[in-house]
Structure 1
Amino acid sequence: MTTVRIDATQPRQTIANFAASDAWACQFVGTWPAAKKEAIADLLFSTEATANGQPKGIGLSMWRFNFGAGSVEQGEASGIKDEWRRAESFLTPAGTYDWTRLAGQRWFLEAARRRGVRQFLGFLNSPPVSLTRNGKAYATAKQPNLAPDRYAALGDYCARIIEGLRKSTGITFDYISPVNEPQWDWSDGGQEGTPFSNEEIAGLTKAVSTSLVARKLPTQILVAEAGKLDYLFTTADKPGRGDQLGAFFTDAAVPTYLGGTPRVARIIAGHSYFTTSPHALAVATRQQLASRVATVPQLTYWQSEYCILGDNAGEINGSPRELGMAPALYLARVIHHDLTVANATAWQWWLALSPYNYKDGLVYVDKNKTDGAFYPSKMLWALGNYSRFVRPGAVRLAVEPAVAAAGTSTLLVSAYRSANGQQLITVVVNEATTPVALQLELAGRRLGASQPYTTSATTDLQPGPPVPAGQVLHLAPRSITTLVSELR
């Protein structure tokens, strides 16, 4: 039997949200027949349960909305070969704003709100094509695709969209993320995108800040969505694009400092790609990041984009699509390390919906613009073991050991006190191929009965029999179990 000790007197970070993005399939799936898109929205956003306690969905607490650059209007001339990776824009070629555009995306935006989502973020992969250097939504010359004399126009564009969506949908965006993975060149036409140096990011961020303040919008700016975590705390192989903690938040004397800029969130955001395997690298990278973030007062870290990409040191490959438990367990391990080692206060997935033969989707859809089938993955439910129960305002608690021996594999354990202080939420990842007996011990509070929810090869957040306080829980092989326990 494995005993895990949780200490309620040792709080760690406060959780802000779990999220996913609407790029790119929502533009089409949002116009599918009502019954199908409503069912998909339930899977992503619902916090309701059936009569027997089965969750209907994973209860994402934030939704990321793509402020497209307008490559859809350009069609084949956009240079982006896959039309599912082109994006529409509210800004028309005539220079006016049309709030009936992005209809499919707006449907999911409002579906999220109807199901209780209260946090919203707008992001840009590229400035709108009318502002870019080459008139396209990707950087053909491997240079930043926005000239400095267009920063103010980009700021106005961001503020106009936030203001327009507030008027047309009633939703005020909490965050705007104007830059995505600025370390990459984005020159192959695979999707909308552009590189930026830290100096350029600082300049355009200040321009967005000015426009938000001028329009009296409360939206905060999120920087800088680094392409991998190393670029947040080291220069690595990208001089002028790395050490973004140092550039934006550490030294008020440097010209790129954004710590005192109005509307800039006290958050540094990065993506977990290329840093998740092997285990020693994953842990060491996140330890270094957490250590650096801790040196900056009131700064928090968000893991703001991830899917299973690359070969991951031979542990798992991003291709092909796989709906089963192997990618779900790998994903749960990544989430665990980001939360317990890097101290991430938010954890966000890339494609909520994917038509691709890749491990990049929570729900997979047929590549059909008007109608098709959809296929929930075990990765959806693995994320749900966290997102459905660890709600905004929950506080992570110290766990010993966070990685516990269990046969030939490991248990990954993390624990969270609910925002109202009345529940303990414990997430246990059992990678072993055999059942494991687990007992929880809690210091600082009394532990009541626990309700387990298990994702396995045969279950999707399935509720099990309640476990009385002090009783041993038997974990299924290759499973993820969330225990919702009473605190006394």
Structure 2
Amino acid sequence: MKNKAVLVFLFLSGFLFSQSKIAQIELEIHPNVEYQTIHNFGASDAWSAQFVGKWSLDKKEAIADLLFSTEKNADGTFKGIGLSTWRFNIGAGSAEQGVESSIKDEWRRAEGFLNNDSSYNWNRQLGQQWFLKAAKERGVSSFIGFVNSPPVQFTKNNKAFSADGLSSNLKTSNYVKYGLFLKDVVRHFKDSLDLKFNFISPFNEPQWDWKNGKQEGSPRNNDELSSATKKIDSVFKNYNLDTKLEVSEAGQIDYLTSIKKGKEHRSNQVEVFFNPTSDLYLGNLETVSQKFAGHSYFTTWDISKLKTKREEIKKKLIKYPNLEYWMTEYCILENNEEIRGKGKDLGMKTALYVARLMHADLTIANASAWHWWLAMTPYNYKDGLIYHDKNTEEGTFESSKLLWGLGNFSRFIRPQAKQIKIDYKGKNSLENLEKGVLVSAYKNKDNSIIIVAVNQKETAVQLNFKSTIKQVYVTDKDSDLKLIQHNADKKDVVITAKSITTFIL
């Protein structure tokens, strides 16, 4: 009996000791100190929607629910992550060219609406159109049409990629025709589907040479981009379109903020396009959106680069307070000591890596939107939210922790929310960004306060609030955006190791 008593004492002592060892973080929230407006979280339909959108109804409905739904299942779990914008790839027509397109992978070709006789076939891109409608049916109200290459009928080499990578593949004589094509696409979807493209991005990642034939794409020098944008603006204005143009959608965010050696003619784009003293100024055009967009590729490691590159974005926002910054594309392409792009990962490692980036983009760069690259992917790569087999007619699919980790942001931070001030020890220090707990705060239009905590540590951590917590949702190795009921109505909560947790206050 004595031995049993000793064992119980030792167990309780060890438990209490371990509890006392849990690190604690004191949080100070300032709801009245507001920063940028958060418009949306999204992803793109490239390239899988062209095939998956033709799969059996039950499967594509289930995928659409995972991406767009804000509803709950009968058991109280979420059907999906509630993305609030959807990026539609307006194809160049490489799919119609088939093998003659010189794009070997049919999954990376894209159908095009334009016929060779200048008429249109709106029955193309039907798989993608299905997902557009599915997004709208599930409450998505913001849509972006983005173009990797102009229609092949307008390009210099009649291909959907460049011959030499030296200049735009769009013929100068076709600038107006390209504008009219984009106008017709916008009008068709509005008139036929009652679906408005809020933005058109005519020039996706103009920095790269796009001459390898791996996908549709076109390089553009700054002067070409400026000239073409002015022509498109005149077309949109003449036809009274209220769709805005998104320029520039830079392939790497430091091409927005600095002059890049060897790419001087494709960089420093905030100054080039939005400084009124620039010869290539676009900021006064009626249809050009007052924002600049970029992709977070190759700026996420090391941690010093992650932070510095986003501080440079914030400096531009301070200099041009009328502008917003949108992060409009990312997947893991880089290889570093933490992660590699090759090899799909359905687990928390990729989810946490991306959550750290989202935290940095939203709280350091003050991004007003955050978009993942491929919503669906057939590739053995860290590029998708949902993975499926490479079957064009019918296949299987599976979700990832990355999908649900993105949902810790997208499902709760709703359109027109504000980032608000939150203080805690070590906030956005290099050490904490790399290995610590990252906490950000937001206020929705209904005044609900949303806190997202990314715990990169191998151990649990206690967060101490000064306000009562209403609901807690966690994504970790065991849970997918799961409601943790026992943590509600408290002011302090222990979050699990390697987790992403959302609090509603």
Fold-level similarity (TM above 0.5) = yes
Query: Is the counterpart of residue 114 in structure 1 residue 140 in structure 2?
Result: no
Deviation at 1:469, TM superposition (A): 5.1
Deviation at 1:468, TM superposition (A): 4.8
**Which is helix-richer, 1 or 2?**
2
Query: Unaligned regions of 5+ residues in structure 1, if any?
Result: 442-446
* Structure 1 equivalent of residue 118 of structure 2: 95
TM-score normalized with structure 1 length: 0.95
Deviation at 1:215, TM superposition (A): 1.7
Select 1:21's aligned residue among 24, 44, 54. Answer: 44
Superposed counterparts of 1:77-476, under 5 Å = 77-142=100-165, 143-237=167-261, 238-250=263-275, 252-311=276-335, 313-401=336-424, 402-403=427-428, 409-421=435-447, 423-441=448-466, 447-465=467-485, 467-468=487-488, 471-476=491-496
Query: Unaligned regions of 5+ residues in structure 2, if any?
Result: 1-23
Partner Cα distance (1:206, 1:383) in 2? 36
* Structure 2 equivalent of residue 54 of structure 1: 77
4+ residue runs over 2 A deviation: 50-53, 401-406, 447-450, 466-471
Partner Cα distance (2:420, 2:487) in 1? 21
Q: Which amino acid counterpart does residue 97 of structure 1 have in structure 2?
A: Y
- Per-residue CA deviations over 1:167-198 (Å, capped at 9, x if unaligned) read 22110110000001111000000100010011
- Per-residue CA deviations over 1:151-181 (Å, capped at 9, x if unaligned) read 1111011001111111221101100000011
Deviation at 1:472, TM superposition (A): 1.5
SS at match of 1:449: coil
Partner Cα distance (2:398, 2:286) in 1? 43
Partner Cα distance (2:245, 2:227) in 1? 13
Deviation at 1:278, TM superposition (A): 1.0
Partner Cα distance (1:10, 1:94) in 2? 57
CA contact (8 A) 1:68 1:124 kept: yes
Partner Cα distance (2:238, 2:54) in 1? 35
Partner Cα distance (1:175, 1:216) in 2? 14
Partner Cα distance (1:339, 1:469) in 2? 28
Deviation at 1:34, TM superposition (A): 0.3
* Structure 1 equivalent of residue 19 of structure 2: none
SS at match of 1:265: coil
Q: Which amino acid counterpart does residue 39 of structure 1 have in structure 2?
A: A
**Comparing 48-57 with 91-100, which one deviates more in the overlay?**
48-57
* Structure 2 equivalent of residue 444 of structure 1: none
Q: Which amino acid counterpart does residue 495 of structure 2 have in structure 1?
A: L
CA contact (8 A) 1:403 1:413 kept: no
Partner Cα distance (1:217, 1:99) in 2? 20
Deviation at 1:121, TM superposition (A): 0.4
Partner Cα distance (1:467, 1:398) in 2? 23
Partner Cα distance (2:91, 2:155) in 1? 13
Q: Which amino acid counterpart does residue 475 of structure 2 have in structure 1?
A: T
**Which is strand-richer, 1 or 2?**
1
Partner Cα distance (1:44, 1:208) in 2? 32
Partner Cα distance (1:350, 1:409) in 2? 25
Q: Which amino acid counterpart does residue 281 of structure 1 have in structure 2?
A: K
CA contact (8 A) 1:229 1:272 kept: yes
Question: Which protein is bigger by CA-based radius of gyration?
Answer: 2
CA contact (8 A) 2:439 2:452 kept: yes
Partner Cα distance (1:198, 1:309) in 2? 25
Deviation at 1:355, TM superposition (A): 0.4
Q: Which amino acid counterpart does residue 265 of structure 2 have in structure 1?
A: G
SS at match of 2:266: coil
- Per-residue CA deviations over 1:366-423 (Å, capped at 9, x if unaligned) read 10000000010111111111000000111111111334888x94100000011121x1
Identity of aligned residues (%): 46
Deviation at 1:294, TM superposition (A): 1.5
Partner Cα distance (2:361, 2:397) in 1? 29
- Per-residue CA deviations over 1:329-349 (Å, capped at 9, x if unaligned) read 001001000000000000001
Select 1:3's aligned residue among 26, 40, 48. Answer: 26
Partner Cα distance (2:379, 2:469) in 1? 42
Select 1:12's aligned residue among 11, 20, 35. Answer: 35
CA contact (8 A) 1:99 1:168 kept: no
SS at match of 2:479: coil
Task: Give the total of aligned pairs.
Answer: 477
Partner Cα distance (1:52, 1:367) in 2? 32
CA contact (8 A) 1:403 1:411 kept: no
Deviation at 1:54, TM superposition (A): 1.6
CA contact (8 A) 1:403 1:410 kept: no
Q: Which amino acid counterpart does residue 339 of structure 2 have in structure 1?
A: I
Q: Which amino acid counterpart does residue 272 of structure 2 have in structure 1?
A: A
